[in-house]
Amino acid sequence: MSNQPVNGNQYDENQIQVLEGLEAVRKRPGMYIGSTGPAGLHHLVYEIVDNAIDEAMAGFCDKILVDILEGNVIRVVDNGRGIPVGIHPKEGISAATVAYTILHAGGKFGGGGYKVSGGLHGVGASVVNALSEWLELTVENGEHVYFQHFDRGHYDEELKIIGDTKKTGTTVVFKPDAEIFEDPVFNYDTLLERLREQAFLNAGIRIVLTDYRDPDNPVQDDMCYEGGVKSFVKHLLEKAAKNPIHPEPIYLYKEENGCTAEVALQYSDSYHEVIKSFANDIHTIDGGTHEMGFKSALTRVFNDYGRRRKLLKDNEENLSGDDVREGIIAIVSVKLPECEFEGQTKGKLGNTEARPLVENLVFDGLNTFFEENPAVAKLIFEKAVGAQRAREAARRARDLTRRKSAMDSGGLPGKLADCTSKDNTITEIYIVEGDSAGGSAKEGRDRAFQAILPLWGKMLNVEKARLDKVYSNEKLMPVVMALGCGIGEDLDVSKLRYGKVIIMADADVDGSHIRTLLLTFFFRYMRPLVEQGHIYFAQPPLFRVAKGKKFYYAFNEKERDQYIAELSEGGGKVDVQRYKGLGEMDPHQLWETTMDPSNRTIVQVGLEDAARADQTFTILMGDKVEPRREFIEKNARYVRNLDI
């Protein structure tokens, strides 16, 4: 693979820089796409699609096709103007080639007309090219069809005309490099979720995702939402099977100094809040200035309204942020000429101008809405007052619990088998469903640093209860007391008694249920524990494969079959035991396979797993039957794989 010299026969300075640039990307892909795991892999697709979306936002394109082809090849097609094919004055090669070979060239080329797109690190097409085994670019400009082939970012031939056409548009086909990515297999639902989000955030654009990997059974979603973020809110409500308390989402929009802010919100009868914020179509999972502006305006509007209407008496406290957000589903989307993303995962918007932009929009817009829609305003306001009362009830329940526990067991639950160490950088607590597994765990553990809490009793349906009910739940309170860091608005992570909170449950449907319940509880009432990576799942083995004295533990069917094959060599009887539950393992086996830090695998729970559990939980435990049935039908086949 060599690059064609451009000016005469020698590589010029630019050309060398290009090669160095692509090499840099291949050497440290994580710097450009975050990781070489599934997130980084899927990010390649978003980078290319982002360019097509920018073209659509500029008003030149209304349809984007994203195809997953056999062999995990991706094809993205748009009907825009086509990437410019003319010779780039500085580089001496086609502008399209520049966009695909020069680092950071994508957005900047074209003299300011081209909006900076907000990919995770804003890296663009050349990074995708560098990380693809091969990539093919086709551009139609209404006259000719242009084509260029790349191998790992390098090309032997320039962009060339291969035919004539009346159409315009860009097609990019690429195969992610198996030398770079751990497992270059695309997940349809991952792509679908993100592309659907893009379709909501860019009203009117049609995005069609098709999976052709199973030739007999292509899967397709065709997405176009004229209602934009308003449709997004409706979609989230439906997906989570929540009951809205007013018929239509409230929609607010504002444009100022080349920035736009858009907000859609609706209240449901649930007790939880969902706020999704975006900056230049990037999900800001940790919020930031736009979200702060939204929250502060919301609280102000409610309290002003309450005082003005004398619904809050002079001697009554203001509604808190949590009160006014109870049951809300909101989308906050800003588009700025340049976004600054902060924080470790770059999930937080830093631009200071975004805060007043959103704050003013929501303050003025929602005030007006409240004045013009008194009936809806009254409903929403009363819900917030209900939340305020429940918060006060929770405070009383908490004080009562504190007094009670101070009197009996020094604040620790009776069934807790505590560890000796108090140093939470090394301590762990196993939360175990069932007394028999709890017994094995107590015997098998290393009591120096491992505590065991068996769970018993009736679980609370977190969906249908507010915090005050948690304080009287016999299953959850021992967890809260053992962790020692409080709950809800009292949560103080620095008081957490164990650095690792490990949920250990059977590898079956009941086990999956208890995992989901606990995860949902942590997500809703102790979210910082999830955010800061304190929550884990234990991974007990499913099989023991043995011949004579030699044995292996297998954690899935593939491993089991490998061990069977290995032990079968040379003849003799191979014995396979399937563990139906943790209780079937003796204490030593449980220690060896699931609890010994030098040997076990534990899975750290991320915020996305928890958010998904939350949604799943609403569907499974909420009061709508139809979404529950749909969910069960769709997921029945996954139960064995334990996707939660």
Task: Kindly report the three-state secondary structure assignment for every residue of 529-562.
Answer: HHHCCCEEEECCCCEEEEECCEEEEECCHHHHHH
Binding flag, residue 21, ligand 1YM (CB under 6 A): no
SS3 335: strand
Kindly tell me which of 113 and 570 has the beta carbon lying closer to ligand 1YM. Answer: 113
CB of 130 to ligand 1YM, least distance (A): 16
CA distance 110 to 84: 9
Q: Is 326 a catalytic residue?
A: no
Q: Taken in order 474, 518, 283, 500, is the CA torsion positive or negative? A: positive
Pick from 25, 41, 48, 554: which binds ligand 1YM (CB under 6 A)?
48
CB burial string 432-456: b at 16+ within 10 A, e below? bbbeebbbbbbebbeeebbbbbbbe
CA atoms within 13 A of residue 611's CA, in its CB half-sphere: 11
Contacts of 470 (CB under 8 A, 6+ apart): 394, 460, 462, 476, 477, 480, 487, 521, 525
Kindly tell me which of 50 and 609 has the beta carbon lying closer to ligand 1YM. Answer: 50
Say if residue 221 carries a ligand binding annotation: no
- Asked whether the beta carbons of 499 and 426 are under 8 A apart, the reply is yes
Radius of gyration of the chain (CA): 28
Of these residues, 317, 382, 423, 510, which one is catalytic?
Answer: 510
Of these residues, 50, 433, 468, 614, which one is catalytic?
Answer: 433
Query: Which of 190, 202, 178, 185 lies closest to 78 in space, CA to CA?
Result: 202
CB of 106 to ligand 1YM, least distance (A): 5
Kindly tell me which of 106 and 153 has the beta carbon lying closer to ligand 1YM. Answer: 106
CB of 224 to ligand 1YM, least distance (A): 18
Site for ligand 1YM in 55-94 (CB under 6 A): 55, 76, 78, 80-81, 83-84
Give how far the C-alpha of residue 242 lies from the chain's centroid of Cα atoms, to the nearest Å. 20
Query: Which of 94, 87, 98 lies closest to 14 in space, CA to CA?
Result: 98
Say if residue 506 carries a ligand binding annotation: yes
Site for ligand 1YM in 140-179 (CB under 6 A): 170, 172
CB of 621 to ligand 1YM, least distance (A): 42
Pick from 33, 95, 332, 582: which binds ligand 1YM (CB under 6 A)?
95
106-125 footprint of ligand 1YM as x/- string (CB under 6 A): x--xx--xx-----------
Q: Is 510 a catalytic residue?
A: yes
CB of 140 to ligand 1YM, least distance (A): 11
Helix ranges (DSSP H) in 105-239? 105-108, 125-130, 188-201, 229-239
Q: Is 269 a catalytic residue?
A: no
Say if residue 508 carries a ligand binding annotation: yes
Kindly tell me which of 168 and 260 has the beta carbon lying closer to ligand 1YM. Answer: 168
Kindly tell me which of 87 and 285 has the beta carbon lying closer to ligand 1YM. Answer: 87
Query: Which of 202, 204, 297, 193 lies closest to 235 in space, CA to CA?
Result: 193
CB of 172 to ligand 1YM, least distance (A): 4
Q: Catalogue the active-site residues.
A: 433, 506, 508, 510
Chain residues in the site for ligand 1YM (CB under 6 A): 48, 51-52, 55, 76, 78, 80-81, 83-84, 95-96, 99, 106, 109-110, 113-114, 170, 172
**Residues of the binding site for Mg(2+):** 433, 506, 508
